[in-house]
Structures are given as structure tokens and as C-alpha cells.
Amino acid sequence: MLTNNSLASPGTSAGAKTDAVATSADVSANKDMFTKLLVAQIRNQDPLAPSDPSQFVNQLSQLSQTEALQSLSKTTSASASVLQSLQVLAMGGQVGSQVSVSTDRLRLDGSPVSGSVNLPSASSATNLVLTGADGQAHTVSLPFHSAGSQSFTIDPSALGLAPGSYSISAQTADGARVPVEIAGRVDAVRMSGVGAVVLQVAGVGDVDPSAITGFNGKASQVAAN
């Protein structure tokens, strides 16, 4: 599922054109007003104490700088919009892919969820702590593992965990907290209300692309390998 409201809404294009026309009209009006004021200033100056010509040059220069900045602002805004659309299209190609997400939360629906923790050193017992919306903590103990990545699977049915959102953290035997990565499928890509790209990952929910730590291919590709 790939959605991009800025591309899908027919009114957006017309609105953008209307804003561009309005901005152009404002710039033209400001330029005409500036020119009239400048002419009036020249006509009404004291003949016995004429203004320094360099002042008029500076004023014209300021007008040119203002117009250039307004033009740059419009160009930058348009470029940002295009870049966001390209990001959505690029990430849209990953829909259906298996990814690893660095996260501190889970969304359980009854299906097992896989993940891993990266141990900086050997740990005799690493505890995963899942806390539900009700504040109740559930601990899952992992066996001894040497330094490196330790995989785990959370089976909600076996652990008696009801569907819903949970926070998750991991702590080694010596009390050190280690980051948790959850494996899931990219189900959708969309634009948020503030124009950011958001990925919907099964077992996690909405995530920022920067939270993705690895793309592991699509299900058919993973099975083939």
C-alpha cells in the first residue's frame, strides 16, 4: 500500500498553482509600490540638498535581493516537495519487504514476533521486559549468549499476552541496557501530516525510515535464499 496525499489529491495541484500565482502577484505589487515611492522620493527631494545617489542604488539593490530571496524560497519549497514525493516512491518499492527496526515498542496481534538484541559482551541471562498499556510488566529471559546478535521470538499466546501495544527493553546480566531490533514486514508507506515519510511495519506500527536498520528482502526472496 503506497499513499501520498500530496500526489493523490486533485485539489493540491490547483492549490499550489493558486499560491504560486498569488505569490507572483504580491511580488509584482511590492515592486510597483517600491518604484512609485522611489520616484516620489526623487521628485520631492530638496533641490538645495539633493539625496546621495548611492542611497537610491542601495534601495534598488535591496529590492533585487528581496526578490531573489523570494524566488529562492519558492524554488526551495518546490524542490522539497519533489524530494518528498521521490522518497515516498522510492520507499514504496519496499512494501512487502522484511526489515529490521530499532524500536522500544511492539504491537502484538496474536502472531509471534521475531527480533534480536546486540550484546556488547557475553551475558549469562538477558531479560526482555514488555510493559502493556495497563503498566503490567512481563519478563522474557533469554539464555546465555556470547557477544554479538542474539535472536529471540515472542509468542503472545504462549506468554499470555493480550493483543495491543507494548513497550520493550532489554537488559543484560550485568544491568546494561541494550537496543532491541524487531523484524517485520513493510505493509505501507505514506506521508505524515507534516510531510515526513512514514513506514508501517507489522509488529511495530508507524516508524521513521531512520529507524530501519536493515532490509532483508521480500518473503519470496528470503525463502529462495
Q: Mean pLDDT per 10-residue run, the chain (225 residues)?
A: 47 47 57 68 65 63 67 65 63 83 93 94 94 92 94 93 95 93 91 81 91 82 50
Reported as a single tens digit per residue, the pLDDT across 189-219 is 887 777 778 889 999 999 988 899 998 887 6
User: What grid cell was written down for 199?
Assistant: 513506514
pTM given for the model: 0.59
Share of the chain above pLDDT 70, in %: 57
pLDDT for the residue 196 = 79
User: What grid cell was written down for 70?
Assistant: 523570494
The CATH class given to the 97-224 domain equals mainly beta
pLDDT for the residue 124 = 94
The C-alpha atoms of residue 142 and residue 140 are separated, in whole angstroms, by 7
The C-alpha atoms of residue 210 and residue 176 are separated, in whole angstroms, by 24
pLDDT for the residue 12 = 43
The C-alpha atoms of residue 127 and residue 119 are separated, in whole angstroms, by 12
**Domains of the chain by residue range:** 5-92, 97-224
The C-alpha atoms of residue 184 and residue 149 are separated, in whole angstroms, by 17
pLDDT for the residue 64 = 67
- Going by C-alpha positions, the residue among 202, 108, 95, 192 that lies closest to residue 154 is 108
CB 181 within 8 A of CB 215: no
Reported as a single tens digit per residue, the pLDDT across 126-159 is 999 999 999 999 999 999 999 999 999 999 999 9
pLDDT for the residue 192 = 78
